[in-house]
Structure 1
Amino acid sequence: MKTNVGTVDRVLRIVAGLVLILLAVTGTIGIWGWIGILPLATGVFRFCPAYPLLGINTCSINRKD
């Protein structure tokens, strides 16, 4: 699996995911906040399954994992 999520994209995904999960845990936004697991996972694993379908790659250096 090639990485396709760059550094800035990765940080934004992780922060957004954590914020959504935190808001869900505190009950601020309800159950929909658990969708934050998706951006968190794609940021941690540096791979977004939608990117190859859309022809997007924000990673400047492709490496094989």
Structure 2
Amino acid sequence: MQISRLFTYSFDPNVGPYDRIFRILSGLALVFFALAGPVAMPGWLVAALIVFGLAWLMTGALSRCGMYYMLGLSTRKG
């Protein structure tokens, strides 16, 4: 494992199709809830939900998860 590949996203896709769909939908849900949630939340919580939601959305959209790469895991077949 090369750490430099982690920062450039140059490692092979390691997120499978069902995992990808889940990440995209849950990332969108987190961002939506942070921006239009029915409950008033402190600013730090809104910011955290947006950051985690966008990160989750990005890993789903690109089919690459840095944590999976570091742990040597993959949900992608083949």
Using the size of structure 1 for normalisation, the TM-score is 0.83
What is the CA-CA distance between 1:19 and the residue it aligns to?
0.1
Q: Which runs of 4+ in 1 moved over 3 A?
A: 27-30
Gaps of 5+ in 1: none
Q: Cα RMSD over matched residues?
A: 1.4
Name the structure 2 match of 1:15. 25
Name the structure 2 match of 1:42. 59
What is the CA-CA distance between 1:45 and the residue it aligns to?
0.3
What is the CA-CA distance between 1:33 and the residue it aligns to?
1.7
Which moves more between the two structures, 27-36 or 52-61?
Answer: 27-36
What is the CA-CA distance between 1:47 and the residue it aligns to?
0.2
Choose between structure 1 and 2: higher helix proportion.
Answer: 2
Render the CA deviation track for 1:16-58: whole Å, top value 9, x for unaligned.
Answer: 1000000011144541320200110000000001112112100
The residue type paired with residue 12 of structure 1 is: F
Residue correspondences, number: 61
Name the structure 1 match of 2:49. 33
Gaps of 5+ in 2: 1-10
Which moves more between the two structures, 23-32 or 1-10?
Answer: 23-32
% identical aligned pairs: 34
Name the structure 2 match of 1:54. 71
Q: What secondary structure, in the 3-state scheme, does the structure 2 residue paired with 1:51 have?
A: helix
